[in-house]
Every structure is written in structure tokens, then in C-alpha cells.
Amino acid sequence: MTKYLPLLVLGLLLSLSGLSNGLTVSCGASKGYSYYFEGGLVQKKDSGFTEDSISNGKFSLTVNDKNEADILTIDATGTIKSATSQGGNVMLLSAGDGGFNWLAVYGDGTLEVYSYNVSSSSVAAYRNTAGNPNVAKNSLLVSDCD
């Protein structure tokens, strides 16, 4: 029963308030894979797939009481950064009864999709920085969340 408690709570939030009280999903370290393109100035390895992780990573996916979505991250210096304050256009997209997607699009072409699955309480995060001159890569990392 406790396995389905987050789904029940989220369902009640949606049906009773239309997210009018907001929503926050907090997540920790991420692990998965990245594909590095040739030509980046800061390149870990040759182009191709490699295991990747953000061992001390923390982020929160938020929706405020006005249904405005944002993505908050803590960088390596411990500073909290907001996707919207960095010029990102963040949208919340429903993923049916089982979750939500936060989509962030930046002016430099960076694209991020954070897919929250309610039943597993985890997020799969896809990040595309293929045009970035410093680190040209695509990543798919998974995090456990509260």
C-alpha cells in the first residue's frame, strides 16, 4: 500500500486543486550514460557513449501555485540555480496518471527533459547540449527522489 501512496497523494492534489498548492519533487545523485560528440573544448574521452554520473547532485522540480514550472539545481559551488532565472523556458507536461515531464528550452539550444514517474519516485533526466562549444553531449541520467 505504501508503494502507491505517492500516486494517491498526487492524484488528490490534481483532482482537488489543479496543482493550485504547487508541487515539488526533490532528487539526489544521478547516474546513467552520456554521448560525447567530437570537438568539445572540455572532452572527457573520445566521442561515443560513456557511463556518467553526478554523485553530489541535487535538484528540485517545482510548480508554484500559479502553475508556473521551474527546475532548481545546486551547482558544484553549492549555489542554487533556477532554470527560469538562467533564461530557460520551463513547461510542465502531463505524462498521464503516472507522472509529469518538465521541459526546459534555452536560447543556446540546450534542451532538458525531466520525466518524473510517481510509482517509482524517480526521475529520468535527458539533457542535450550538442551545440555547446565546451561540452557537446547528450545525457540520460536517473535519480531517486523524495
Q: Are 93 and 106 in contact (CB under 8 A)?
A: no
- 58-67: per-residue pLDDT in tens? 999 999 999 9
Highest-pLDDT range among 5-14, 21-30, 118-127: 118-127
Three cell numbers written together for 144: 531517486
**Collapsing DSSP states into helix, strand and coil, what is residue 2?**
helix
Amino acid 115: pLDDT: 97
**Residues 130/137, Cβ–Cβ less than 8 Å:** yes
Number of Cβ within 10 Å of residue 28's Cβ equals 14
The domain ranges of the chain are: 2-145
pLDDT at 26 over 50: yes
Residue 102 CA to residue 71 CA, distance in Å, equals 8
The CATH code that applies to domain 2-145 is 2.40.160
Q: Is the pLDDT of residue 113 over 80?
A: yes
pTM over 0.75: yes
Assign 3 to helix, strand or coil: helix
